[in-house]
Amino acid sequence: MGNQYVEMGLSAPVNVTWEVTYACNLSCIHCLSDAGVKRRGELTTDQCIRIIDTLAAMKVFQFNIGGGEPFMRPDFLDLMDHAHEKGMVTCISTNGTFIDDDVAGRLNNPLVYIQVSLEGATPASNDAIRGRGSFQKVIAALGCLQKRNIEVSINTVLTRRNFNELDRMTELAARYGAKLRVSRFRPSGRGKASWSQLNVDKEQMLAFSDWLNRHLAVSTGDSFFSVSTEERRSLGLNMCGACKLTCCISPEGNVYPCAFLQDQEFLAGRLPGDDFADIWENSPVFHSFRRLEIKSCESCHRFDLCHGGCPAIAYHTQRKLGVPDPGCLANCVSVKPIVREVA
């Protein structure tokens, strides 16, 4: 990765995570957005169109769409059509329960990539986290997407419950022509309450790093650079991309460094009222994030592979930035989360 060019500052994000609604028909116990019902102040269709136009004009390449469940918005497919007309790629993270043959037909566009969430290789392990019946609905959705040859990955959040099912999940994904993508569990949203119950321990994290090395086709997005090894160096980011390559827009139009840092202190602006280019260029929040240094990591032999790891996990577990990711492979610092625990 051209870190030196990223450090020069890009004219716009490469991609923007956009959580388009808080509404969701499932109640996953680890939901980062604490999603459920639509909230007051969510962006209207017209406001969404303005945001798409603004970001397209800045040549942002891609929207990573999430929520809530994006398909809960009645205008969702129309908004995606508009983004595609502007040449933007959309990577849609969905729980899959709204995808039937008709919807798959609407999604059949080379600019669309789908990520369907699944938390286990069996109904028992998945439904314990995502709710009864959700496994079978996802399997049906995968069938519809496969029929249309739509690019899809199964996205799973690594937890101690599915840790032993990754091989079976890889096989399951392959059966539907999909890739497996493993995301990191973060203690935000309802993940705060389920953190101690679900987060993998140090030994599991080390074993997962080893498993990743043996499964180079499995993608991790930007989640696991704290456990990256030489073998995966060329496969993704080796640093946090927040405010450098990416940022996040909430369902109300609030702009944050990333989806996992949506606390008031990280609010950089609000769309469509504020100028996105001005936020990207001049926001004090974004400036301070770009200057963020994790000094205590700089002498580590792994620094070049992870640059201190994920600031969001460090923040949520230690309530401050500029400290090491507690899931770091070199130290595997055992930090007790400050977040509220499940009773």
Partner 1 sequence: MQVREEKFGLLFYDYRGPRLYFVPTKNLIGNDFFDGSHTAEGLIESIRTRHRQSRQSSQQWVLQVLTMLEQKGLVHG
Q: Which is nearer to partner 1, 113 or 260 (CB)?
A: 113
Site string for partner 1, 11-40 (x = CB under 8 A): xx-xx-------------------------
State the number of binding residues for partner 1 (CB under 8 A). 19
343 is an interface residue for partner 1 by CB under 8 A: no
2 is an interface residue for partner 1 by CB under 8 A: yes
The residue from 25, 39, 61, 206 that contacts partner 1 (CB under 8 A) is 61
The residue from 44, 57, 85, 87 that contacts partner 1 (CB under 8 A) is 87
Contact by Cβ (8 Å): 310, 240: yes
Q: Which is nearer to partner 1, 61 or 163 (CB)?
A: 61
113 is an interface residue for partner 1 by CB under 8 A: yes
Q: Report in angstroms how near the CB of residue 144 gets to partner 1 at its nearest.
A: 21
9 is an interface residue for partner 1 by CB under 8 A: yes
Q: Which is nearer to partner 1, 179 or 215 (CB)?
A: 179
Stretch that binds partner 1, among 55-63, 257-265, 278-286, 329-337 (CB under 8 A): 55-63
Closest CA to 288 of 307, 311, 272: 311
Q: Which is nearer to partner 1, 15 or 95 (CB)?
A: 15
Determine the Cα–Cα distance for residues 117 and 153; give it in Å rounded to an integer: 9
Q: Which is nearer to partner 1, 27 or 109 (CB)?
A: 109
Stretch that binds partner 1, among 6-14, 27-35, 174-182, 321-329 (CB under 8 A): 6-14
Determine the Cα–Cα distance for residues 263 and 215; give it in Å rounded to an integer: 35
Site string for partner 1, 289-308 (x = CB under 8 A): --------------------
Stretch that binds partner 1, among 44-52, 56-64, 287-295, 310-318 (CB under 8 A): 56-64
- The residues that touch partner 1, with contacts defined as CB under 8 A, are 1-2, 5, 8-12, 14-15, 59, 61-62, 87, 89, 111, 113, 151, 245
